[in-house]
Chain A
Amino acid sequence: EAGVAQSPRYKIIEKRQSVAFWCNPISGHATLYWYQQILGQGPKLLIQFQNNGVVDDSQLPKDRFSAERLKGVDSTLKIQPAKLEDSAVYLCASSLPRGRERGWGPSYEQYFGPGTRLTVT
């Protein structure tokens, strides 16, 4: 089974520029998450989609960050304009809806992609 794909893997931009990240979840996974992981910290949820609808975007800085999942599969996360403090790894994860997990029983298992490392100079 193919894992969560993300691109690009690395991006360096100057502050005030724009950047976009792409994520392709595991086939059949209706739930998709974007996390921000600042160096030395654990991942923090930015936004969660269920199919193409937003479930939770309470921690997304909406003045500069936006995300979409138009057809309920791939998703893009955009930052415009970028600030120095946006330097982080952006992780995408996907999961089956709760109650439909296989194998391990009723766990709430998220599968993570390799992430995109963003450096803002």
Chain B
Amino acid sequence: GEDVEQSLFLSVREGDSSVINCTYTDSSSTYLYWYKQEPGAGLQLLTYIFSNMDMKQDQRLTVLLNKKDKHLSLRIADTQTGDSAIYFCAALNQAGTALIFGKGTTLSVSS
């Protein structure tokens, strides 16, 4: 079945850019997502990209998709302390019925 992998930790300084990386195994995944989870809260959808796109930009967020390498990245420009959270990469499963999540990347932003 589909598998999604991410690096577990990332530490950056306030004002720098953050890049969180993700790889997935199923090339037929049509939608790929980035979710944010703050302590004690549910998951918040940040952005998504359809598999026929290479890039999507949404304010401070840029998503890059390399379909050949099955690699997805999320870039956060001008990272703020409020961006500290766990970021999950997710892929829509083959049946299109559910999301397969990675283990999450903990982003720590220091001032």
Q: A98-B96, A107-B48 are in contact. Are A113 and B104 (CB under 8 A)?
A: no
Residue positions of A touching B, CB distance < 8 A: 4, 33, 40-45, 48, 55-56, 91, 93, 98, 104, 106-115
**Closest chain A residue to B6, Cβ basis:** A42
- Would A91 and B98 count as touching, CB distance under 8 A? no
- Would A108 and B4 count as touching, CB distance under 8 A? no
- Would B42 and A113 count as touching, CB distance under 8 A? yes
Taken residue by residue from 67 to 111, chain B's Cβ proximity to chain A (1 for < 8 Å, 0 otherwise) reads as 000000000000000000000101010011111011110000000
- Would B43 and A108 count as touching, CB distance under 8 A? no
Number of residues in B with C-beta < 8 Å to the partner?
Answer: 23
A-chain residues with CB within 8 Å of residue B41 when the two chains form the complex:
114
Given the complex of chains A and B, what is the CA–CA distance between A44 and B3 in angstroms?
12
Q: A42-B4, A107-B31 are in contact. Are A112 and B43 (CB under 8 A)?
A: yes
Q: Closest Cβ of chain A: how far from B14's Cβ, in Å?
A: 26
A-chain residues with CB within 8 Å of residue B45 when the two chains form the complex:
109-111
Given the complex of chains A and B, what is the CA–CA distance between A6 and B99 in angstroms?
20
Given the complex of chains A and B, what is the CA–CA distance between A104 and B49 in angstroms?
11
Residue B44 is within 8 A (CB to CB) of chain A in the complex: yes
- Would A45 and B98 count as touching, CB distance under 8 A? yes
Given the complex of chains A and B, what is the CA–CA distance between A42 and B99 in angstroms?
10
- Would B42 and A91 count as touching, CB distance under 8 A? yes
Q: List 7 A-B contacts (CB under 8 A).
A: A40-B103, A42-B103, A45-B98, A107-B48, A111-B45, A114-B40, A115-B42
Given the complex of chains A and B, what is the CA–CA distance between A74 and B27 in angstroms?
35
Contacting residue for B101 out of A4, A44, A115, CB 8 A = A44
**A42-B103, A110-B45 given. 5 additional CB < 8 A pairs?**
A42-B4, A104-B48, A106-B50, A112-B43, A115-B42
- Would B95 and A56 count as touching, CB distance under 8 A? yes
- Would B92 and A108 count as touching, CB distance under 8 A? yes
Given the complex of chains A and B, what is the CA–CA distance between A109 and B31 in angstroms?
10
Given the complex of chains A and B, what is the CA–CA distance between A104 and B98 in angstroms?
19
